[in-house]
Amino acid sequence: MFVEVSDMVNRQQEVIDSIDTAVEETQVHVESGRKEVNTAIVYRIKARKKLWIILFISIIIIVIIVLIIYFTVIKKK
């Protein structure tokens, strides 16, 4: 009977060890994922900033073109 109990404990210990290893690997993956998400947030902020700059420059260019057209074509009439 003690041999059977010992055998059951040993089998359960293997399962517990594999669970422990899986938990440690998961912790490493979660930490890696957190770092990647933080990097993605930084890239997204930079991309949004660049988008606003491009939009602002586009609006300035359109205003300049409209002013040039106004003063050259419409103002001459």
Identify the DSSP state of 73: I
> Tens digits of per-residue pLDDT, 52-71?
999 999 999 999 999 999 88
User: In Å, how far from its chain's centre is CA 73?
Assistant: 50
> Tens digits of per-residue pLDDT, 4-48?
777 787 778 888 888 999 999 999 999 999 999 999 999 999 999
* pLDDT over 70 (residue 49): yes
- For the chain, what are the domain ranges? 1-77
Give pLDDT, residue 77: 59
Please count the CA atoms within 13 angstroms of the CA of 56 that sit on its side-chain side. Answer: 6
Which tokens go with 52?
A: 């606003």
Which tokens go with 4?
A: 């059977």
